[in-house]
Amino acid sequence: MNPAASADREWTDATCPVARTVDLVGDRWSLLIVRDAMDGPASFTEFRQRLGIARNILADRLRRLVEGGILATSATPSGKRHVYELTAAGQDLFTTIVALRQWGEAHAFADDEPRSALVDRDGRPLAALHPSSRSGERVTAETTDVRRVD
């Protein structure tokens, strides 16, 4: 069973995939935790140090991400602590994180403002993401429609 698809969960808009995704990972801290988890398993302390987030907020977001099936926990070799790591569903958010990064690069920085860069293993920038139809044609908000559930 998909933990995120719990029938007893309250959804902002139960039939909209975008709304459900936002319900699961749509706040600033959750997305930054997911971003940092893409670097590999991390402990509560590591997330707290990287993000500068308050303990109570971090504990809440980690709990929600685990309940939502985005993160899983495992014990460290000592067994005294545990680490959080992305599940397959969490790993599937990579494209979303890249899309947010690319949008930010294009719209959230001045041209001369310093910023981090995401590159492939050979040090090359990634190609821009663009949605496409099944036949490979580029699509936009103007060339697509949402089929709503009645």
pLDDT of residue 14: 87
Assigned domain for 64 exists: yes
Question: Containing domain of residue 137, as a range?
Answer: 10-143
Q: Exposed, middle or buried, 122 (CB in 10 Å: 0-12/13-18/19+)?
A: exposed
Domain CATH number, residue 84: 1.10.10.10
Whether residue 96 lies inside any domain: the answer is: yes
User: CB neighbours of 142 closer than 8 A, spacing ≥ 6?
Assistant: none
Question: pLDDT digit string (tens) for 46-99?
Answer: 999 999 999 999 999 999 999 999 999 999 888 888 999 999 999 999 999 999
Residue 69 lies in a domain: yes
Residue 8 φ then ψ, to 5°: -90, 5
Instruction: Name the DSSP class of 128.
Output: P
Cα dihedral angle (105, 103, 55, 114), rounded to 10 degrees?
A: 10
For residue 4, tell me if it sits in a domain.
Answer: no
For the chain, the domain total comes to: 1
Q: Is 150 a domain residue?
A: no
| CA–CA dist 135, 125 (Å, integer) | 26
pTM: 0.88
